[in-house]
Structure 1
Amino acid sequence: MGRRAAPAGRRSARRKHRAGPRFGLPAMVLLTVVLGAGAAMADRDGTPRDGAAAPVVERTTAGASPRPTTAEPTRPAAPDPTPPARPRTTTPAPVRSSPPKRTAAKSTGVPRSGAGTFTTARSSGAPTGDGGTLRRYRVQVEDGIEISAQEAAAEIQRILAHPRGWAAHGRGRFQLVSENADFVIRIATPDTADALCLRQGLRTHGELNCETSEGVVVNLRRWMLGSPTFAGKPEEYRHLIINHEVGHEIGIRSHMGCPGPGRLAPAMMQQIKGLHGCRSNAFPYDEDGSYITGPIVS
């Protein structure tokens, strides 16, 4: 029995299906050429494509301007009539010239660091004060800083015997000794003072004094220069250094704030950090023998 002829509509569909691949290959070739040309133009104009690394700004040392660093663009085989776009650049901000800052150590002759070893003052004296616990102290000065340990000990002895000090008001008795001391008062360069204070977890930033389990650490810069917030000579500021740190030594652990505008700042106030309306003051007691106090701040 012979094959029946397929309906006309079905034969037409089969022809269309067979004819499809005849025109698909040229079209795919044409699409590949167009995409390749587009990719070549993207490389030529210096603009990074998806996945390409952005320009890296190279970090330079102080005083030099940052300089953009980019990879060299890939050149296509055939020339492109379209002029390439300018590559992106980074314009560095203008650098303002200013005179270099000089540290206090350089401008004043106070050394920043020292030997880290100390000389003990070989001197002693009678106890000062008539009440409270007797505390023996010795004085040490870092080697190489051109301060006499003997002279420093004599000055500290006078400070602790001052009529407006702790001993004169029954808060303790103090005696200078060269050995068998209860605590030590050290005068050290800023770097050495920082290291000694840091052992107790205290950060002094090359500027501050501190009180440790061994005694008092005096920053040489403060001893020699005083404080920018203190209205007085360095010799008077030394009273504040010793009175404040020995105040911690006799058991006053907290710091105080300013009691009011125009009033004397307490000796237990960290006056170098700002007076907050108070007047600078180096002594625990005023001239009438009244204890100078303020609100507890820490």
Structure 2
Amino acid sequence: MREQARARPATSVRRLRLQRAAAATAVAACLVANVWVVARASNESGASGALAAIGKVSTEVGLRSKGPAAPSAAKKPAPPRVVERGSGTLTPVTIPGDALTTADTGRPVRISIEAEGGLEVDPAEFATMVAQTLTDPRGWQQVDDVRFVAVSPEEIQGGAQVDLRIALASPDTTDRLCAPLQTRGQVSCHNGGRAVINLRRWQLGVAAYGSDLAAYRSYLVNHEVGHGLGHGHDYCGGPGQVAPVMMQQTYGLKGCTAWPWPAAKADTT
């Protein structure tokens, strides 16, 4: 009985030693494997390959890394704001002298440029653009043998005569100034010696001119001033032809190509 009791502890000790040896061997094998993977990656790809291999080993043992964040979608610029109702008061704007190149000859047409208050548009920029359009070589001065003469706000206040006023107005004020013509807050008009440019069209343009807002603005000015000079509406001559400036291009081109100038396109090339 004593011999059996002594034999059991010896057997347990040997078994324990064998288990510890096996565990140590397994740990050593894992370490050797990891070192071999890192060394191989270093030989193939340098330091970056080694880091990648370490990352791979870490992933295999359960660690996860987050991928790069998805790029944010590019934001489209917001369209210009259209003030539906301004102050209701039109104020004459000084026309920059270097913007109005008056013709040397032709029937004088005395003009004033006006802007309604509260439109969030720089009146001086509007006046400059209108003056440059009216005195462009492709404009009415050459086609109609006229010369536009600026009338200053001070002269108007003193009672000076004005033949034609060009005004930028909110959609609400445009409807009032154009009545009884039906502009419905959408389009511009000429009425009673005033070319009324609707702020909605000035800011947003139309599909016929696409992204070329500057060209459409020139069309707006030339079309409404054309009415002030006595011209009626014209029409598309056929598919592929150049649209005449007195065509209502805002409503569509009817197969013609957009053209904002009174002079024929062939005469400008």
Q: TM-score range by the shorter chain?
A: 0.5 to 0.7
Tell me how far apart the structure 2 counterparts of residues 193 and 164 of structure 1 sit (CA, whole Å). Answer: 27
Report whether the alignment pairs 1:285 with 2:263: yes
Report whether the alignment pairs 1:224 with 2:199: no
Report whether the alignment pairs 1:269 with 2:243: no
Higher RCO (CA < 8 A, seq sep 6+): 2
Report whether the alignment pairs 1:159 with 2:133: yes
- Tell me the amino acid that sits aligned with residue 113 of structure 1: R
Shift of 1:163: 1.3
C-alpha distance 288-130 of structure 1, shift in aligned 2 (>3 A): farther
Report whether the alignment pairs 1:193 with 2:165: no
Identical positions, percent = 38
Shift of 1:114: 1.1
- Structure 1: gaps (5+ residues): 1-105, 291-298
For 2:123, the equivalent position in structure 1 comes to 149
Alignment of 1:112-191 (within 5 A): 112-123=84-95, 125=97, 128-178=102-152, 179=156, 180=160, 181-191=162-172
Instruction: Point out the structure with the larger helix share.
Output: 2
Tell me how far apart the structure 1 counterparts of residues 185 and 238 of structure 2 sit (CA, whole Å). Answer: 30
Shift of 1:127: 5.9
Shift of 1:230: 2.1
TM-score w.r.t. the length of structure 2 is 0.63
C-alpha distance 123-166 of structure 1, shift in aligned 2 (>3 A): closer
- Tell me the amino acid that sits aligned with residue 114 of structure 1: G
Tell me how far apart the structure 1 counterparts of residues 107 and 178 of structure 2 sit (CA, whole Å). Answer: 26
TM-score w.r.t. the length of structure 1 is 0.57
- Tell me the amino acid that sits aligned with residue 115 of structure 1: S
Report whether the alignment pairs 1:205 with 2:184: yes
- Structure 2: gaps (5+ residues): 1-77
Tell me how far apart the structure 1 counterparts of residues 168 and 245 of structure 2 sit (CA, whole Å). Answer: 20
- Tell me the amino acid that sits aligned with residue 273 of structure 1: Y
- Tell me the amino acid that sits aligned with residue 257 of structure 1: Y
For 2:63, the equivalent position in structure 1 comes to none
Shift of 1:169: 3.1
Report whether the alignment pairs 1:246 with 2:220: no
Q: Is the Cα contact below 8 Å between 1:120 and 1:149 reproduced in 2?
A: no
| Cα RMSD (Å) | 2.0
- Which of 197, 219, 238 aligns to 1:260? It is 238
Shift of 1:158: 0.4
Q: Is the Cα contact below 8 Å between 2:209 and 2:215 reproduced in 1?
A: no
Give the length in aligned residue pairs. 182
Tell me how far apart the structure 1 counterparts of residues 89 and 82 of structure 2 sit (CA, whole Å). Answer: 17
| SS of residue matched to 2:113 | strand
- Tell me the amino acid that sits aligned with residue 119 of structure 1: T
Shift of 1:171: 3.0
- Tell me the amino acid that sits aligned with residue 266 of structure 1: P
Tell me how far apart the structure 1 counterparts of residues 165 and 215 of structure 2 sit (CA, whole Å). Answer: 21
String of CA shifts for 1:121-165, please: whole Å, max 9, x gaps.
Answer: 134646622443211111111101122222211111100111111
Alignment of 1:80-119 (within 5 A): 108-119=80-91
| SS of residue matched to 1:229 | helix
Tell me how far apart the structure 2 counterparts of residues 227 and 120 of structure 1 sit (CA, whole Å). Answer: 27
- Tell me the amino acid that sits aligned with residue 117 of structure 2: D
